[in-house]
Amino acid sequence: MKRLLVVIVVLGILGGGGYFGYVQYQKSQNPAPVQVHVKAFIDDIEDVVTATGTVEPHDTVDVGAQVSGQVMEILVEIGDKVEEGELLATIDATVYEAKVDGTRAQLKYQKAQMEDKKAQAALAKIVYERQKRLHAQNVTSLEAYENAELSYTSAKAQVKMLEAQIEQNESTLRAEEANLQYTRIYAPVSGTVVSVSAKKGQTLNANQSTPTILTIADLATMTVRAEVSEADIMHLQKGMRVYFRTLGSQKRWNGTLEIVEPTPTITNNVVLYNALFTVDNTAGELMTSMTAQVFFVKASARSAVLVPLSALHTLPNNAQVAQPKEAPLRQPRGEGREGQRPPRERPVQAPTKEALVKVVVKEGVLEERVVHVGVANRIHAQILSGVQEGELLVTSNVAKTTTTTRPQGGNQPGPQRMP
């Protein structure tokens, strides 16, 4: 009997040890979820579409030569600021001056001929009128009368022919004078010389195409051409706020989206659309062909209660909710007692959604809350109501909870469930 009792005790000890080992093995294979606490905080938030762009002058003019010839002088250099009508370069005008002088001399000769033809026509008219009166009195012959009439008609025709020749030569003179004027290149617009293509002594041939001498750009206003992927282009709308930064600078340049070009550029099967907007560059800080990191603002909020996205959970369909205390409204940063706010960009509203958060109410006790979510990006989300600044939230799934609550303001327009 004694021996049987010892055997039972030994078997009990072995069984208990085996069960304890099994439990420890199961715990090692399925460890309890670790609670990671995150704190709600106050900051600004933006939901943006990012793209890479290039800074270009808003207005660019290629100044070319309209006549052929040798470049005699270029009076400007790259970087010079010029005014509209300022002389930029000259082309050898010897041939064009000779043509103008020749045409003017020919016109003088034709005008002298015109005086002679008009005198002859006047004489023919007098003879014709005399013969007409004599013929009416039967004093002269019909042949003399007809010859006088034909001479007068011929004289008038010669005057008209010479008038036409003079008009033609005057037109030729105007063209040659214009070509002579084209040998002096003037600035068509005010701006900055950004490139000089020709050199002194170079011969230009304007017969085939207009050769470019230099390029003038208006650098006071710059255009940013951003390349947006086809996955993001649907989020862009004309008039939306946009800003950018250049490489090596943290200065923020603000603008408004003006144009989304409908025709894309395709490189290595990558489809990109050009989105354009202009910025003021009166100070001359932006340079041509600078690379810009562009941000198109879809939605934004200032001085908002923010939590990491990992603290938001999918809202259960059968959640039992109650009404918690409303989170107090926080005055935006930078706003004084009088309610005056420094000039900043106006926030862009985002559609309201619902999500579930787990708040640490005390050590070891969690409270599930249904919150309204505003602006969200890839890192943080704005909590419109349900969570206050400084409250601790967990990002892992834990079993020990108490009640599930819904924040006040549940009648906000258009709530949606977080996906």
| pLDDT tens digits, 353-392 | 888 888 988 877 888 889 999 999 889 999 998 898 998 9
Q: How far apart are CA 347 and CA 167, in angstroms?
A: 69
pLDDT of residue 411: 39
Out of 273, 299, 325, a domain closes at: 299
Tell me the average pLDDT of the chain: 82
Range of the domain at 117: 93-182
Of 247, 272, 299, the residue that ends a domain is 299
351: nearest Cα among 322, 382, 326: 382
- Does residue 235 share a domain with residue 171? no
* pLDDT in the model for residue 339: 42
Whole-number pLDDT of residue 217: 93
Q: Is residue 197 part of a domain?
A: no
Each residue of 177-211: pLDDT tens digit? 999 999 999 999 999 999 999 999 999 988 877 88
pLDDT of residue 414: 39
* Measured CA distances, 182 to 87, 203, 288 (Å): 11, 15, 30
Residue-wise pLDDT for 223-254, tens only, equals 999 999 999 999 999 999 999 999 988 899 99
pTM for the whole structure: 0.65
Are residues 363 and 391 in contact, defined by beta-carbon separation less than 8 angstroms? Answer: no
* pLDDT for 221 beyond 60: yes
Task: Name residue 392's amino acid.
Answer: L
Confidence band for 256, pLDDT divided at 50, 70 and 90: very high
pLDDT band at 115 (very low <50, low <70, confident <90, very high): very high
Evaluate whether residue 317 is within a structural domain: no
Same domain, 102 and 146: yes
Query: What is the pLDDT averaged over residues 86-112?
Result: 94
Residue 237 maps to a domain: yes
pLDDT recorded at residue 108: 93
Domain limit, last residue, from 299, 329, 357? 299
pLDDT of 271-327, one tens digit each? 999 999 999 999 889 999 999 999 999 999 999 999 998 888 887 765 544 444 444
Q: What is the CATH number of the domain that holds 235?
A: 2.40.30.170
Phi, psi of 187, deg, nearest 5? -70, 120
Q: What separation in angstroms does the CA of 18 have from each of 6, 8, 13, 21, 23? A: 18, 15, 9, 5, 9
Q: Could you report how far apart the first and last alpha carbons of the chain are, in Å? A: 69
pLDDT digits (tens, 9 = 90+) for 62-86: 999 999 999 999 999 999 999 999 9
Tokens of 44: 């600004």
Please give the tally of structural domains in the chain: 2
pLDDT recorded at residue 316: 72
236 within some domain: yes
pLDDT at 74: 94
The verdict on 53 and 119 lying in the same domain is no
Residue 415 pLDDT greater than 50, yes or no: no
Residue 170 and residue 121 share a domain: yes
